[in-house]
Structure 1
Amino acid sequence: MKSKEKYLPLLLFSCVALGIVIGGMLNFPERSLSKANARKAKIDKLIDFIDDEYVDHVNSDSIVDLTVNSILANLDPHSVYIPPSEQSSEVELMRGDFVGIGVNFYMYKDTVTVVRPLENGPAEKAGILAGDRILYADKSKLFGRKLPTDSLFNKLKGEEGSTVLLTVYRKNTGKKLKIPVVRDVVPIESVDTYLKLNKNTGYIKINRFAENTYTEFREGLEQLKRQGINTLVIDLRDNGGGYLEKAVEIADELLKDQELIVFTKNKKGTIKKTFATAEGIFETGRVFVLIDENSASASEILAGAIQDNDRGTIVGRRSFGKGLVQREMDFDDGSAVRLTTSRYYTPSGRSIQKPYTKGNSEAYIHDFEKRFESGELYAKDKIKVADSLKFKTKKGRIVYGGGGIVPDIFVPLEVKKGEENVGYVLNSGLVGHFVFEQLDQNRKAYEGLDLKSFLSQLYSDKTIVAKFQKYLAESGLEISVANNETLVKKYVSAEFARQLFGEDQYYQILLKDDAILKAILK
């Protein structure tokens, strides 16, 4: 985490850059080749020449990857090739579970350190505690080796029901312990939390659209309805998207029968329209959808369906602007391709895909920098929309295509203008690492505290922001937080609550005095 300040925006937004791979390469006799197969055979033959004749030994697999990425760099920015080393974790993330021990950890001073065992997970059940250092998994040494993250995961993951013997150092007792942990299915939740903001208002935070997202959302909505809400806030901030179908299923719970949710069009001109059914469980209450510059893809499909049907109010800042649909296809070596196969359109007929130049993904990735320069993250009238791309909602309101969803209610960034990197730091892993190290100095001091007592103790500490400022400097970041002390203290307090009490408590603090929620609740 010792990146310089100028690289923070790139790190945060680089997740939107994607690439693609071609199909199987077949080697047929020359006289029987079609034009398409001849192109594929040329690539095969070139790789064979290099394997057989090139003066030095070359890893042909890496050449294939380079060739694939070079070819596909000339397509759209969202078609992506996923190598075998990354595909398994991608599959787990979108499937919504994996088989492992169930801990949040990070490498602290070259040692695998438990930030927090997952609630009711295998590690917690076995007695693993926050702050434990995992020294060995069976006979595999995990400290002092600078193991890559995927290697660490492979040591801790395994077959469901299998046992791994962890050798743990517990700092607060100074003892080494051997703890057997039975691996089990560990959920990766895509709905971070659902809770009540006040007597009538429910809140659901969705971090991505995975296989289990609709089920989690439906469960949360049913719980909130039982508690008597008549207003629903769906938070899609920093949600980069995922499965289109899951956004559609959620929209169906909010829209009335036969209202158009989205339609797609492929290169053959085939149009597929998706309509809501009569089965929605929240078709009449008030709806607010929160978006920001990192809300993309499936998030924009949901927001666009709500906005174009005049079903609710979109609040926040202009969304990312991704109007392309990818289909994932697997290869025999464990790699995969996400290939753009169609464009999607909101019910009013608008494409919200922002412009891109084929072969220039770098400019596309860094488009967000223009938003800072133009001032649109602080003032709605700075948002540039194309007058030629006007569309009308169901009730005749004007909306625009060509670059994201423009909110109905605009709310600027909370950090002061010119100090956006403070916001990136607060949303990075740095806050979590800082809080862990603060707790790790004396965990016994926090034992037995409830949330209220803890917050009283933390807010009486006048030095906490100064400690965080020092931590940033020690991490190599020359960023001053002096002008954003209140915001910094809120994020630090929320992270303390998360590590001590859980995710719901984190959001209880983070959402208090949230600028976008204030715009709604007032």
Structure 2
Amino acid sequence: MNSEKSQTPINNPKSVVRLPIIIGITLAAGVLLGSTFFSGGKKLSDVAKGFNKFREVLSLVENNYVDSVNTEELVDYSISKMLEKLDPHTAYFNAEEATAARSQLESGFDGIGVEFNIYNDTVYVVTPLSGGPSETAGIQSGDRIISVNKENLSGPGVTNAQVYKLLRGKRGTKVDLAIERVGLKEKMNFAVVRDRIPTFSVDASYMVDQEIGYIKVSRFSESTFEEFKSALKTLKTQGLKNLILDLRGNPGGYMERATSMADEFIAGDKLLVYTEGKDSRFDRKTRSHVDGLFEQGPLIVLVDEGSASASEILAGALQDHDRALVVGRRSYGKGLVQMPIKLNDGSELRLTISRYYTPSGRSIQKPYELGKGDDYSQDLSHRYESGELFNVDSIKFDKSKVYKTDGGRIVYGGGGITPDIFVPKDTVMNSKYLFELYSKNIIREYALRYANNNQKKLEKQTFDEFVKTFDVSDAMIADMVKDASKSGIKPNPTELNLSKPIITSQTKAIIGRYVWGRKQKSGLNNEVFQVLNPTDNVFQQAVQMFNQAAQLEKGKFSSLNIPRKAD
């Protein structure tokens, strides 16, 4: 989640309680500094001609157009439209967008430290972050933020972006909040001083049983590798022998964090990834070189259609070196490297400068046509419609792009990382009624209210006892249905019964996270995943695959049932 941490309705059943909300912007290349970038290349006279023409037109519009115009907006629009003629990942961000995008990959931000949720046009505090300035000031879960620095923050049209803008700011600066609290008639006023708020990218790290460990990584930010190493060390002290590394839904980030993680699994001096571009300055090779924490032991990596960029670098390196069994669905297919170039006004150009390749030579970039970004953006919809997310036989391999792993297994380039073991997307329990509950945030709001009202009673038991003994009752479901009706959602007993397992598991997960997990300073949301993973078909399949992962590690490929099929 992006914080000041926002809680929003999520349409993916398995991720509805995943707290980090990530802007889907990836820096596949990490931070490559291009101080000499503009030297060389095409003749400067050609560029100058184009620049002079644009400046002439802009000047004519500014001085002679019949109505007043916003020149800055025209320039931003012109740049964005120009870049649409290039590849799908070259992009331009204005100053505000660039700041928001960079913050997703930084190790923290300056703010007041709250998780919030917008519900019925009202901003609710889900929880003040432990040790943060809001908790110190006395802000409580369930508080409604009415105004910030006397600017109204309730009513139709309130957005996450508006909340971020008001709550974030330079550390040491003061924020005046007007709060409404349940049980009090009068508004409360708080003065909160902004401070540095850490962000986390390792969402979960826990032992599934006495030997199997699980680590969930949501993105590759500044702090990801250190978070990962810390999590891995802790699991090893708890008896770790088999590891599940979950990269599903991970949109990428800094390449160096992904290759550093790969180095913890891959022994010796081996190629991890290489990049090639038009300009040789952007060609580079990254190899393993450290004694890693988990170079031996069965390893399973989970990927899906939301795993992109740096996630694919990591999964591809582990697959090519036969180090991990890859389980799930074909990954996104982003193999283009962007260089972030900060412009004078604070805006930013993300310019594609090379392609990356896995150790076997595979380009993971899926096909695209220059200037046809709309078609490219529909790829995941096409996968759904073609049945690829549900049937392994619907995955199409390009037989002209055949490569081999270290052990001689066939892998294919030209469009993402194809898993060794395919697991279909589970949509059996989805329903229109469930999505309506998501759209109005009914499940989360009910669970938080229940946790608030029953916190003292729930805290008398341990979380492990809660997992084993607590059930979401029919009476609780009935109360949730009443909440939905009040929000305009018509009851539908048939669809409710179909989706009931999802509704109950998510409700339980949110309650567990709120009561036992919110005081953690590590950023881990283990409680959520410990409740949801046993109902996750990909996770369930992975737990059963460690015999095959062990055979793979030993180089005994003939015993593996890994389908490969070419067009």
TM-score (norm 2): 0.81
- Aligned partners of 1:193 and 1:2: how far apart in 2? 21
**Do structure 1's residue 275 and structure 2's residue 291 form an aligned pair?**
no
- Which 10-residue stretch deviates more, 38-47 or 167-176? 167-176
Which amino acid in the other structure matches residue 467 of structure 1?
M
Contact 1:193 1:507 in 2 (8 A): yes
- Aligned partners of 1:13 and 1:161: how far apart in 2? 26
**What corresponds to 1:40 in structure 2?**
51
**What corresponds to 2:40 in structure 1?**
none
RMSD, matched Cα: 3.2
- Aligned partners of 2:333 and 2:432: how far apart in 1? 22
**What corresponds to 2:445 in structure 1?**
436
Contact 1:292 1:318 in 2 (8 A): yes
- Aligned partners of 1:465 and 1:259: how far apart in 2? 57
**Do structure 1's residue 63 and structure 2's residue 85 form an aligned pair?**
no
**What corresponds to 2:480 in structure 1?**
467
Gaps of 5+ in 1: 6-11, 24-31
Which of 53, 73, 91 is the matching residue for 2:64?
A: 53
* 1:312 shift after superposition: 0.9
- Aligned partners of 1:413 and 1:231: how far apart in 2? 24
- Aligned partners of 1:208 and 1:454: how far apart in 2? 28
- Aligned partners of 2:289 and 2:319: how far apart in 1? 18
Contact 1:415 1:422 in 2 (8 A): no
- Aligned partners of 2:80 and 2:163: how far apart in 1? 28
**What corresponds to 1:9 in structure 2?**
none
**Do structure 1's residue 500 and structure 2's residue 515 form an aligned pair?**
yes
- Aligned partners of 2:384 and 2:264: how far apart in 1? 36
CA deviation string 1:415-450 (max 9, x = no partner): 229x58889889x6755x532245447933343313
- Aligned partners of 1:305 and 1:17: how far apart in 2? 19
- Aligned partners of 1:393 and 1:481: how far apart in 2? 47
Q: 1:386 to 1:93 in 2, by over 3 A?
A: same
**Do structure 1's residue 365 and structure 2's residue 377 form an aligned pair?**
yes
**Do structure 1's residue 72 and structure 2's residue 86 form an aligned pair?**
no
- Which 10-residue stretch deviates more, 186-195 or 310-319? 186-195
SS at 2:74 equivalent: helix
**Do structure 1's residue 108 and structure 2's residue 130 form an aligned pair?**
no
- Aligned partners of 1:468 and 1:458: how far apart in 2? 17
- Aligned partners of 1:175 and 1:442: how far apart in 2? 24
Which of 335, 341, 350 is the matching residue for 1:329?
A: 341
- Aligned partners of 2:377 and 2:296: how far apart in 1? 39
Which of 539, 545, 550 is the matching residue for 1:517?
A: 539
Contact 1:306 1:312 in 2 (8 A): yes
**What corresponds to 2:548 in structure 1?**
none
Q: How does 1:147-296 map to 2 (within 5 A)?
A: 147-268=158-279, 271-296=283-308
Higher RCO, 1 vs 2 (CA within 8 Å, ≥6 residues apart): 2
Contact 2:124 2:144 in 1 (8 A): yes
Contact 1:4 1:476 in 2 (8 A): no
* 1:181 shift after superposition: 2.3
Which amino acid in the other structure matches residue 516 of structure 2?
F
Contact 1:76 1:356 in 2 (8 A): yes
- Aligned partners of 1:3 and 1:219: how far apart in 2? 29
What is the percentage of aligned positions where both structures have the same residue? 39
**What corresponds to 2:456 in structure 1?**
447
Contact 1:2 1:477 in 2 (8 A): no
Which amino acid in the other structure matches residue 396 of structure 1?
G
* 1:278 shift after superposition: 2.6
Q: How does 1:129-148 map to 2 (within 5 A)?
A: 129-144=140-155, 146-148=157-159
Q: How does 1:366-381 map to 2 (within 5 A)?
A: 366-381=378-393
**What corresponds to 2:315 in structure 1?**
303
* 1:227 shift after superposition: 1.5
**What corresponds to 2:558 in structure 1?**
none
**What corresponds to 2:39 in structure 1?**
none
Query: How many aligned positions are there?
Result: 501
Gaps of 5+ in 2: 1-7, 13-20, 28-33, 35-42, 518-524, 545-567
Which amino acid in the other structure matches residue 507 of structure 2?
V
